[in-house]
């Protein structure tokens, strides 16, 4: 792959830069602070749009390539980056595999498949990979219980996921780890089942109990779906957020007036 810039100009930081990065070579960009080194790298990665000039990958305009195609071929490591939540280093690095879609494999996939193959119910364990959007509803129709074993970390305590809501809206039973994001959606024993996070035996026990107690399934499904319809629709979301935006707008107007 050849990455090239022609007459690249960017907001006073770069002016008429032309270069070609050839495969099998290492190029070092040197200069004082503020010379535009980081800006040049961001422009070459397609993260900054130049005021003039163009960036080409194998003689094709970088801007003409879909983001996924660009991300499959260009890796960009900034000189500084702030991670908003606790993420293991391995998980952070693995994000670089996301643009590769079905070819992206986790570091323990082979071990998990071997463990599944050794299970007495191996014929019931499927690794389906990424499901096409148009097939999601069909997959839901085949499932009785959806389990969400999120690890406990700052991210999962603060961020509320959408997938459990999607499952409840489909009339499916939901079991999830007892972390903050899940507790916003699930009342244990009412709209779903919560189990201790980072505790495989607790997951197994919760799912086994749910499978045994089938008499509660219909009522649980109805209650969970009613919760989604009443409290997690767009109208109710707007009612929650509109006052917040109105306060921010009034505060901004007051600051401008002062």
pLDDT computed for residue 166 by the predictor: 92
> Residue 71: is it exposed, middle or buried by C-beta count within 10 angstroms (0-12/13-18/19+)?
middle
pLDDT computed for residue 218 by the predictor: 97
pLDDT computed for residue 187 by the predictor: 96
| pTM summary value | 0.61
Taking CA atoms, 132 is separated from 39, 128, 135, 198, in Å, by 37, 11, 5, 29
pLDDT computed for residue 198 by the predictor: 94
Assess contact for 216 and 209: CB atoms under 8 A: no
Which stretches in the chain have pLDDT values below 50?
none
pLDDT computed for residue 97 by the predictor: 74
pLDDT computed for residue 258 by the predictor: 67
In the beta sheet, which residues pair with residue 148? 176
185: three-class secondary structure by DSSP: coil
């Amino acid at each position: 792959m050849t990455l090239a810039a022609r007459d690249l100009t960017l907001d006073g930081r770069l002016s008429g830069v032309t270069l070609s990065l050839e495969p099998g070579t290492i190029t070092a960009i040197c200069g004082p602070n503020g010379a535009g080194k980081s800006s040049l790298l961001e422009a070459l990665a397609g993260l900054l749009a130049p005021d003039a000039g163009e960036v080409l990958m194998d003689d094709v305009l970088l801007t003409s390539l879909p983001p996924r195609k660009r991300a499959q071929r260009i890796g960009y490591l900034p000189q500084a980056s702030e991670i908003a939540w606790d993420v293991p280093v391995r998980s952070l690095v693995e994000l670089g595999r996301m643009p590769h879609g079905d070819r992206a494999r986790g570091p323990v996939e082979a071990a998990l498949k071997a463990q599944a193959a050794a299970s007495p119910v191996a014929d019931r364990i499927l690794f389906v990979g990424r499901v096409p959007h148009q097939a999601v509803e069909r997959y839901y129709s085949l499932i009785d219980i959806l389990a969400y074993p999120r690890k406990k970390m700052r991210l999962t305590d603060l961020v509320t996921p959408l997938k459990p809501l999607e499952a409840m809206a489909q009339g499916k039973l939901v079991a999830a780890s007892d972390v903050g994001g899940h507790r916003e959606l699930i009342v244990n024993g009412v709209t779903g089942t919560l189990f201790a996070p980072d505790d495989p035996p607790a997951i197994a026990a919760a799912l086994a109990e749910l499978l045994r107690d089938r008499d509660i399934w219909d009522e649980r499904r109805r209650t969970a779906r009613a919760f989604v319809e009443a409290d997690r629709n767009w109208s109710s979301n707007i009612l929650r957020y509109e006052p917040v935006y109105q306060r921010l707008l009034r505060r901004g107007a007051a600051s401008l007036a002062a």
